[in-house]
Structure 1
């Protein structure tokens, strides 16, 4: 098997006086979607923010494409090829959709072919290209947030609950865009509470509990075992259909 695109080895992260990540060991294979699942408050968002450098790991190592990135600043991690979509979207409301996208393409002008693809998977972005991002609906803002991370081709995408609170039609659009990204060979680490979406997109799974990874395996294995789902997450994927 090839070396994983991302590996966390015994990662501990503190936020103020709270010890959130308590020795996380995690591997993200190349060219697939790894779902990071678990109940609310177990450390999933903190894991993503530690990988991108918003929170600093107190102990352990983070390896990206075989190189240790544990101590380097967030901009350097982004330049290395990591895209991040935060749960709070992270868009600039006073800027237009176009300006948000231009800022996201740090390496230079937006690639026309990639922009055409983004317009195909997220049609509202083209419609509201000259509009202030703050005037978009919640679903449209989430589309813009994901599109910003996709403005340039990244080697790894970290995406935090992209379908949270969205209408079913918008969720379908989001899932289609992520499926397209997966087909392009992207490596994705995705936190998602919508289990049908997780099941449809995920190749591998890591389940968190109390700041640790407690189970890893194939999505097909988790999807086929209702008792395992109940034990790991307290609910069945089948119940979420």
Structure 2
């Protein structure tokens, strides 16, 4: 059986410079993979290229057999890819309600309705009238997740969702990821918080110098501290 997401020989970068030097990565339908690696190895570049924010120099990105490499962002989104970007990218002047309304208008048909999203993220329901710049970092992250879910993606990309958040909020982010994964959504998670990554993902893929150099089930990676030290410099 072919993988749901298949990335082959992906090269990408900025202003002619190469960051990704031939990434290969597969993900089965309903699977969750955590992409790990030190700063600067190309994790965010990978997410940006899959989503269409960056045009690849060469390589293939297929979703359920459909080639998406080099397609426009809107085409990729309609094909079923959603992203929670690094830095959240919440619009400061818009209220929570307005963010959700915009996302709902652009959404594909599917199970993730406004009611369901607010049920998963009830704090947003309490903050509907607040502007983006009036939200805490955790609330902004929840809003970014809600916005992505309302698009009813089949593949959800999350880029450093725990960045800058308090431990209690990180724990809630983990609960949300586990819930959407349990509902059958495929997830690619880029994360520096190893505890979060290992608690929500089925597999890990470690990047070094723009390539995937190690792939393993989370349980195996958790049980091999030598691999973690060698690849990530952590215990």
Shorter chain as denominator, the TM-score bin is over 0.9
Q: Which residue of 1 aligns with 2:208?
A: 209
**For residues 58-107 of structure 1, what are the alpha-carbon distances to aligned partners after superposition, in whole Å with 9 as ceiling and x for unaligned?**
01111111111112111000011100111021221111101111211244
5 Å matches for 1:161-200? 161-200=160-199
Q: Which residue of 2 aligns with 1:148?
A: 147
CA distance 1:65–1:106, change in 2 (3 Å): farther
User: Structure 2: 5+ residue runs without aligned partners?
Assistant: none
**For residues 19-75 of structure 1, what are the alpha-carbon distances to aligned partners after superposition, in whole Å with 9 as ceiling and x for unaligned?**
100011111221021100000110000000000010010011111111111121110
User: Does the Cα contact within 8 Å between 2:100 and 2:114 map onto a contact in 1?
Assistant: no
CA distance in 2, matches of 1:148, 1:229: 34
CA distance 1:111–1:21, change in 2 (3 Å): closer
Shift of 1:108: 5.6
* 3-state SS, counterpart of residue 46 of structure 1: helix
TM-score with structure 2 setting the length: 0.95
5 Å matches for 1:1-241? 2-107=1-106, 114-236=113-235
* 3-state SS, counterpart of residue 105 of structure 1: helix
CA distance in 1, matches of 2:206, 2:118: 34
CA distance in 2, matches of 1:202, 1:137: 26
Query: How many residue pairs get matched?
Result: 235
Mean Cα displacement is larger for which, 177-186 or 97-106? 97-106
TM-score with structure 1 setting the length: 0.92
CA distance in 1, matches of 2:199, 2:61: 28
CA distance 1:36–1:43, change in 2 (3 Å): same
Q: 4+ residue stretches of structure 1 with deviation over 6 A? A: 109-113
CA distance in 2, matches of 1:110, 1:18: 39
CA distance in 2, matches of 1:28, 1:102: 31
Root mean square deviation of aligned Cα: 1.8
CA distance in 2, matches of 1:29, 1:112: 20
CA distance in 2, matches of 1:76, 1:198: 29
Shift of 1:109: 9.6
* 3-state SS, counterpart of residue 113 of structure 2: helix
